[in-house]
Amino acid sequence: MIYETLKSLKNLWLYSSECTVKDLITYVHEKKALRDAQLEAIEIYLYLKIKGENKPLWQLFCEGFFIDYTSLSTVEQYFYEKQEIVKLALYNFAKQQLPALAKMIDENKVEDYEAIVKKMFYDVNYSDYLLSLPMGAGKTYLMASFIYLDLYFALLEPENKSFAHNFLILIPSGLKNSIAPSLRSIAHFDGSWVLPKVQADKIKKLLNFDILDVPKTAKKSNLANNPNAAKVNSILPNPFGQIFVVNAEKVILDSRSNGFFETEEIVENELKQKLALIPKLSIFIDEVHHAASDDIKLRQVVSWWNAQGNITTVLGFSGTPYLKSSEKITIDENLFFKFSTIMNTVYYYPLVSAIQKFLKIPMVKSANLEKKAILSEAIVDFQNLYETKVYEDGCIAKCAIYCSSIADLEEVVYPHLVSKLNIDKDEILKFHQGNKDYKIPQSSEMEFRSLDTPKSTKRYVLLVQVGKEGWDCRSLTSVILSGSSDSPKNMVLQTSCRCLREADKNNNTALIWLNNANAKILNEQLQKEQNSSIEEINNLSRSCGENFIKRVSRMDVLELPTIDFYQLRIKHTTVNTEESVNTEEKLNTLLKQIDAYKSKVFIHSGAFENINENLKIKENIHDEKLLFEDFLFALSKNSFMQISQTQIRDYKKALQKIYTKITDKGFLNTLVDMEKLYNDIALCFSIKRAFNSVHETIKKEAALLIAKNLKDIEINAKLYPSPMGVIQILEADNNPDFIHAFEEKKRAKSIELITQGNIEEAQKILGESLGIAPKNKDKSFHYLPYDFKQSGLEKEFLEKSFGLENFKNNTLEIYYNGERGLSEFVIECYKKTTTSYSYIGRYTTDFLILKRDSKHSISKVLIVETKGKGYANDEVFNAKKEFVNSEFITKNNEAFGYKRFDFLYLEDSKSMDENLSLLDKKIIDFFKEN
């Protein structure tokens, strides 16, 4: 397609003598403020504006603009010599894309070449360019860059029609909430990213912003009643630097009917008429794929504006260059061809490239499970990977759970999170538009808009019909689509990718969990819109630039086996304690005890000193209306719809008696504890059950590295070994004589320096060492490098452990296990109660010190935990530590028949020498021969 050709031609132009903006391009590159995707788009833009003179694409095509004249075939050379440039251009394009058309051209069976080219580019007579960049690539800043560049050249050459003086940004009605953020981003854009500061500051002062979002007051309104048209009219006739932002719907839909306006009706619409008068206007259409169904009408509007002579350029922005369905172009009755690509795409930056460069690196998971089971799996994964994740700006990692309906959110998802997964209600935000049954607090919208701030404590965001597009939440780290209707089918890709936006410059990851139906749709959309797949996405890693290092597994080199251990598993069962429900009897008993649900209020009257003499007990306050039907519905609702209306109505008489006791003429006695009453009535509809729990120990095997989760990482001071140490270890793995060769090379170099009389330099060479890590490569480092950015204690502890004599004499190995998501050795922890166990959570230890037997199997495991003193009062951590140190260790040693596991807890409140002394004593005690 032409965007591939354009990229090559643009590069040739940049290095040619005819490129007049080399200094400007160099400035933007050296500024290093924009991403490579934005830089390339700017280069293409300037190439089309300057070299292409801002001409429509069909015209450039017919003029041979996209032809590489250095590699013409014999047939093409013939067309060129005859100056049949349009024929040559179409043949040059068709021979690769449409061989049947190329054959017809070669055989002179095509009558009107130019007509075909115009059809390819949608029959428009204005410059209509599409730039395709994925979500999070910085489209808004790119728009701002184009605005600054156009105004810069417009000031230099005011009469040059290639550069705009004013701008109209059209945003899809579905993304109307993104209008204000988009405008703020453009207004706050630092123009010095693309222009020298003096010119950028000058242009910034010229900018004027207006949002055209005020509803007009009449169908056929005048300017007084149409504030949007009045805004436009106020800046006429000759504005400069004016930026309007408006819903695309306002220029497409005719407010007088359900359909679209016709061409002649445009003149009657004040806003569209006034916009047509703005001179040298560039139009930016955000998320152009939204306009697909309205495409003809939108082009009709723009074509009419263009006919007035004021349109400079139309720029579309989309996440994909691919059409949802192929477009058909008919040549004659015997031949037609189809395009699956949007033909006016001039730049394309794939989603895959964005993930490799700056977006979060996702792991896409799916399962053929029912909704609640997927929720459980997905949330446990999220907690294991991101429970302690805090981004550089202080925001915590968040998980978006999309729901098919408000009822689905309120009756299925939310109860499951709270009652089954024990998630704190304060960590959950429910956000939807509400209905007659379920309202949301007014504060919910503010909390939703504040999610991307450090003050937000919400981790789980439950959404209905919002947040699928136009939602910019950088701290969103996970997306869950657990049901087939949680997202419209045509938006599964956009919804899934909401969590990929760059949060900070670290090498961050994301988690996407889907049911199988949504996974299938996602895979199809990735193939169709991004020429990719879930498999490819899951295998991506950060492209190693100068700030990243590739992480590698050494499991094969170390021949590190799995660790066998026994995991406690608790099974809960219920036993019926009565033979039948006996609902009628239970309701009658409850009726007799109805006064127990009422509170008493003491009312004082008279002087304060006589308080004991003026007290009255009030047992009824009737100020809240509650109809009987509402009472019955509330019973069902409070049971999360587990009790149907049919069941409830079977006992209508008994319930009527209860209702009469708590109301007076339809008004509820607000001293009644309704929550407790509803709960107890619900219990009347179920058989009494007793809960029993059975615990068992299950043998498991755990690999110390999940290699597929190992991603490239940004270089930081707490990586161990250092990048040079990593290289040395990898070289030593491939060359058994590496250490000897290193020493020999050092000795030879020092001798050479001594011979030359350079004693000081020779002493430096002799003092060089491989370092601790390479020398201990066979005792640790099952992957390279370890990342200790969360704790300096861990790095120092590992390094100094190698030096302990008892560590060396016992031929021990030590492996870092503390990076979440990389190890299968994770312990499920429980708290023992009087009669059972309650689940606490998962525990991932920091280090494992291992000893192997004569068969190289792991025979002993010392679990080592290193923590800051701040954890001393952490109840959850202490409960997990207690479980591991007692239940886990005891049950495993009993199951294996010997002391196979032990536990050591080290705290940074002690000195490193004290902690090493504790480790040394534990080694002597635990690893001594049986």
Q: Confidence class of residue 665 from pLDDT cuts 50, 70 and 90? A: confident
pLDDT bucket at 604, cuts 50 / 70 / 90: very low
Residues 6+ apart with CB under 8 A from 913: none
Q: What pLDDT is stored for residue 106 in this prediction?
A: 86
- Answer yes or no: are the C-beta atoms of 823 and 702 closer than 8 Å: yes
Q: Is 774 helix (H, G, I), strand (E, B) or coil?
A: helix
- Of the two residues 408 and 546, the one the predictor is more confident about is 408
The two tokens of residue 186 are 């453009």
Least confident of 6-20, 735-749, 891-905: 735-749
**Average pLDDT of the segment spanning 251-261:** 46
User: In this model, does residue 691 exceed pLDDT 90?
Assistant: no
Domains in the chain, start-ordered, CATH in brackets?
Answer: 2-56+121-346 (3.40.50), 351-543 (3.40.50.300), 578-687 (no CATH), 707-738+770-926 (no CATH)
Q: Provide mean pLDDT across the span 62-88.
A: 86
User: Computed from CA positions of residues 302, 306, 310, 316, in that sequence, does the dihedral angle turn out positive or negative?
Assistant: positive
| pLDDT classification of 548: cutoffs 50, 70, 90 | confident
Please determine, for residue 500, whether its predicted confidence score (pLDDT) is greater than 90. Answer: yes
pLDDT of 913 strictly over 60: yes
181 or 795: which carries more pLDDT confidence?
A: 795
Confidence of residue 112 (pLDDT cuts 50, 70, 90): confident
Average pLDDT, the chain: 85
CB 129 within 8 A of CB 342: no
CA atoms 653, 659, 661, 664: torsion sign: negative
Rounded CA-CA distance 703/822 in Å is 9
pLDDT(757) > 90: no
In sequence order, what are the beta bridge partners of 553? 783
pLDDT of 708 > 50? The answer is: yes
Q: CA-CA distance, 519 to 792, in Å (whole number)? A: 40
pLDDT per residue as tens digits for the range 389-400: 999 999 999 999
Pair of tokens at residue 886: 């007692």
In 843-888, alpha helices (H)? 875-883
Packing angle between helix 912-926 and helix 792-801, nearest 10 degrees?
A: 50
Share of the chain above pLDDT 70, in %: 89
Torsion of CA 248, 254, 259, 264, to 10 degrees: -110
| Least reliable range by pLDDT among 400-404, 689-693, 872-876 | 689-693
Instruction: Give the three-state DSSP class for 310.
Output: coil
Instruction: Map residue 364 onto helix, strand or coil.
Output: strand
Q: How confident is the model at residue 827 (pLDDT cuts 50, 70, 90)?
A: very high
- Picking from 31-35, 42-46, 595-599, which range would have the lowest pLDDT averaged per residue? 595-599
pLDDT category of residue 702 using cuts at 50, 70 and 90 = very high
> Quick check: 344 pLDDT over 60?
yes
Angle at 267 between CA 263 and CA 272, to 5 degrees: 95
| pLDDT the model gives residue 371 | 94
pTM, to two decimals? 0.64
Alpha-carbon torsion 84, 90, 93, 96, what sign? negative
Q: Is 90 exceeded by the pLDDT of residue 513?
A: yes
For 869, counting Cβ atoms within 10 Å of its Cβ (0-12 exposed, 13-18 middle, 19+ buried), the class is exposed
Comparison of pLDDT for 718 and 156, the residue scoring more: 156
CB count in 10 Å sphere of residue 554: 19
Q: Are 212 and 271 in contact (CB under 8 A)?
A: yes
pLDDT of residue 805: 94
* Residue of higher predicted confidence among 26 and 270: 26
Q: Which residues pair with 830 in a beta bridge?
A: 839
Q: In which band, very low, low, confident or very high, does the pLDDT at 223 lie, cut at 50, 70 and 90?
A: low
* Burial class of residue 683 (count of CB atoms within 10 Å of its CB; 0-12, 13-18, 19+): middle
SS3 assignment, position 835: coil
Give the residue ranges of DSSP H helices in 603-670: 628-638, 645-649, 652-662
What integer is the mean pLDDT of 212-241?
Answer: 73
Q: Is the CB of residue 228 less than 8 Å from the CB of residue 271?
A: yes
Q: What is the dihedral of CA 77, 83, 89, 94, to 10 degrees?
A: -60
CA 916, 921, 926, 930 torsion-angle sign: positive
Cα separation of 864 and 849, whole Å?
A: 7
In whole angstroms, give the CA distance from residue 360 to residue 706: 19
Instruction: Say how far apart CA 13 and CA 66 lie, in whole Å.
Output: 13
Return the higher-pLDDT residue of 645 and 424: 424
Question: Among 38-52, 181-195, 413-427, where is mean pLDDT lowest?
Answer: 181-195
Q: What would the mean pLDDT of 559-565 be, rounded to a whole number?
A: 95
At 560, the pLDDT band (50, 70, 90 cuts) reads very high
Q: Return the pLDDT at 213.
A: 74
Q: Are 429 and 460 in contact (CB under 8 A)?
A: yes
* Concatenated DSSP letters of 243-309: EEEEETHHHHB-TTSSSBPPHHHHTT-HHHHHHTTSSSEEEEESSGGGGSTTHHHHHHHHHHHHHTT
d(CA 418, CA 426): 10
Q: Pick the more confident residue, 737 or 583.
A: 583
Residue 820: predicted pLDDT: 83
Instruction: Assess contact for 513 and 365: CB atoms under 8 A.
Output: yes
* 862 touches 848 (CB < 8 A): yes
Are 161 and 169 a contacting pair, CB within 8 Å? no
- The type of residue at 191 is G
C-beta of residue 563 within 8 angstroms of C-beta of residue 848 = yes
pLDDT at 767 over 80: no
422 phi-psi bin (left φ>0, alpha ψ -120 to 50, beta other): left
Q: What is the pLDDT of residue 742?
A: 75
> Quick one: tokens of 300?
């009709």
Determine the Cα–Cα distance for residues 902 and 882; give it in Å rounded to an integer. 13
Which amino acid does the sequence have at 874? D
Q: Name the pairing type of β-strands 689-702 and 663-664.
A: unpaired
CB 524: neighbour CB atoms within 10 A?
A: 14
| Pick from 693-697, 751-755, 881-885, 905-909: least confident | 693-697
Instruction: Yes or no: say if 276 and 308 are a contact pair by the CB < 8 Å rule.
Output: yes
User: What residues does 336 pair with on adjacent strands?
Assistant: 330
